Structure 1
Amino acid sequence: MISIQKQSDDNVLTLKITDTLTGEDLDNLVPHLKDQVNTSDHPHLLMIMEDFDGYESATAFWKDLKLDAEYIGHFDRIALVGDEKWQEWATQVINPLTKEELRFFSLDKKEEAKNWIT
């Protein structure tokens, strides 16, 4: 499930990702991503992955990868907040491949992530 929130800073799109991610969740996310990159001079993305249980199906996982590939390079900064080692590892692997500033923060550093992203 993806909860979409705008912070007081219009440059930041905040996604809270919990439970199981479905293809429908990703379909619903697309207009928000498009709006963010088209209306903000310096778009930032804050993703908070808390109690994330994975993907509903391989199709949802594949859709997420395609979405990532489509929007890579459109954000100035991306912060990923999570509690899993693989999330930190994925951030480190992807970081050299993008022009965005990309950082991982553990859940106990959520406020630090919010400050960094703005």
Structure 2
Amino acid sequence: MIQLQETKKEILITAEMSGKITKKGIEKIHPLIHHIIDKGNKVDFYFELENLRRYKLEGLWEGLKVDTAHLSDYGKTEFEGNKKWQEWAAKAMDLFTDSEVKFFDLQEKQKAKEWIGQ
């Protein structure tokens, strides 16, 4: 499940992700990306991963399609979680994009918010 959070930073998409990530969840984020890039800005992300179990196959596929289409549109991406595989996923994403990608432990919430500028 993806639950979008409010933010005061115009170019930042903030979401809490838990349970299973589905195609429907990813589809909530895609129009927000276009809203930001249509104004000529890069998109920053703040993703809090708590109790995230897995992607459903169609959710993973939808996420990959969105990311592939917008890799050059991303600025900073921050993942906050408590699982080693989440940290590895963030490092893998960093290899395929020019944007800055960082992982923070859930206990480093304040440090993560400062880094993303929230």
State TM-score, norm by structure 1: 0.87
Native 8 Å contact 2:37 2:43 kept in 1:
yes
Aligned to 1:73: 72
Pairing 1:70-109 to 2, within 5 Å after superposition: 70-109=69-108
The corresponding residue for 2:112 is 113
Q: State the partner residue of 1:10.
A: 10
* Cα distance in 2 for residues equivalent to 1:80 and 1:3: 15
CA distance in 2, matches of 1:89, 1:67: 20
Is 100-109 or 27-36 further displaced after alignment? 27-36
Which amino acid in 1 is paired with 2:110? E
% same residue: 25
What does the per-residue CA deviation read over 1:3-37, in whole Å, with 9 as the maximum and x for residues that have no partner? 11231222221011111111111122211121122
CA distance in 1, matches of 2:27, 2:35: 14
The one-letter code sitting in structure 1 at the alignment partner of 2:22 is: T
Count, aligned residues: 117
- 1:26-65 correspondence to structure 2 within 5 Å: 26-39=26-39, 41-56=41-56, 58-65=57-64
| CA positional deviation for 1:47 | 1.0
CA distance in 2 between partners of 1:38 and 1:90 (Å)? 28
Give me the whole-angstrom Cα distance separating, in 2, the residues matched to 1:110 and 1:40. Answer: 29
Amino acid at match of 1:88: E
1:42 positional shift: 4.5
Deviations 1:63-84 (A, max 9, x none): 1221221221212111111111
| Deviation (angstroms), 1:91 | 1.5
Report if the CA contact (8 A) 1:55-1:61 is conserved: yes
Contact 1:13–1:44 (CA under 8 A) maintained in structure 2: yes
Aligned-residue RMSD, C-alpha: 1.7
Residues 4 and 14 of structure 1 are in contact (CA less than 8 Å); yes or no, is this contact kept in structure 2?
A: yes
